[in-house]
């Protein structure tokens, strides 16, 4: 039964009518669809498919509009940036330091370009993750310098030179004969202690992946001369 108080609803499914002004009183479905904002499920799918981000990380970004905008800004500013690394900086490092300082994302002192610069320094291996955290701490404490300027001022550049790392590993072995002896006798768990000694000597500036490789090779030579 027709309802006299409700006008008829005329829907236009096609995007454009064949004859102009023929369907002026119709609702254009395609036009309305284009005006709708992107749904959270669509955003999550785009993050995982286009950027290769895990579903868990995508969900966190979508749930925080400021965080999501940071991500888009970082990736838009420089297409070569690693999406997964950028996501880790936002989720694991930015949120952690803001929570420690009891600051909201809206009150964050970190603009997108600053976070993007930290991603660049990590991606180019000019710094490691420990240094990235120290840079965030410097900035949140009021330092107005850029991440690169902070690294230069405090000489926080990562040690990647193989010969320098070899010297460090040699020093660790010479200074810790008991740990070396334990390792050679089969107590391989002490290896982490030796790696920690190398980190301490270099003030956490050494490329730890290289340290592990060099230290492993040197210890094997001691085990099997």
Residue that is written with structure tokens 């020093």 in the block: 171
Fold for the domain defined by 162-223: Arc Repressor Mutant, subunit A (1.10.10)
Q: What is the chain's pLDDT, residue by residue, as a tens digit (225 residues)?
A: 677 888 777 787 776 655 556 666 777 778 877 787 788 999 999 999 999 999 999 999 999 999 999 999 999 999 999 999 999 999 999 999 999 999 999 999 999 999 999 999 999 999 999 999 999 999 999 999 999 999 999 999 999 999 999 999 999 999 999 999 999 998 989 999 999 999 999 999 999 999 999 999 999 998 887
The pair of three-digit structure tokens given for residue 193, joined into one six-digit string? 């202690």
CB within 8 Å of 199: residues ≥ 6 apart: 206, 208, 211
pTM, entire model:
0.80
- pLDDT at residue 10, as a whole number: 79
Domain spans of the chain? 8-37, 40-154, 162-223
DSSP of the chain: ---TTS----EE-SSS-SSTTTTTTSEEHHHHHHHSPPPHHHHHHHHHHHH---HHHHHHHHH-HHHHHHHHHHHHH-TTS-HHHHHHIIIIIIHHHHHHTT--GGG-S--HHHHHHHHHHHHTTSS-HHHHHHHHHHHHTT--S-HHHHHHHHT---B--HHHHHHHHHHHHHH-HHHHHHHHTT-GGGHHHHHHHHHHHTTT-B-HHHHHHHHHHHHHHHH--
């Amino acid at each position: 039964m027709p309802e006299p108080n409700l006008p008829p609803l005329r829907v236009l499914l096609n995007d454009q009518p064949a004859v102009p002004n023929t369907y002026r009183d119709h609702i254009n479905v395609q036009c309305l669809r284009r005006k709708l904002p992107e749904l959270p499920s669509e955003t999550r799918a785009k993050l995982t498919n286009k950027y290769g981000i895990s579903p868990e990380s995508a969900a966190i970004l979508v749930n925080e509009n400021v965080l999501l905008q940071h991500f888009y800004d970082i990736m838009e500013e420089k297409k070569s940036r690693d999406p997964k690394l950028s996501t880790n900086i936002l989720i694991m490092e930015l949120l952690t330091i803001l929570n420690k300082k009891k600051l909201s994302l809206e009150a964050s002192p970190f603009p997108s370009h600053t976070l993007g610069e930290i991603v660049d320094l990590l991606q180019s291996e000019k710094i490691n993750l420990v240094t990235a955290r120290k840079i965030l701490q410097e900035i949140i404490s009021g330092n107005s310098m850029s991440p690169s300027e902070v690294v230069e001022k405090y000489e926080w550049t990562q040690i990647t030179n193989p010969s320098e790392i070899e010297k460090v590993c040699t020093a660790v072995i010479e200074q810790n004969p008991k740990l070396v002896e334990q390792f050679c006798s089969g107590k391989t768990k002490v290896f982490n202690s030796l790696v920690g000694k190398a980190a301490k000597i270099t003030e956490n500036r050494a490329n730890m992946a290289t340290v592990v490789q060099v230290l492993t090779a040197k210890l094997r030579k001691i085990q099997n001369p």
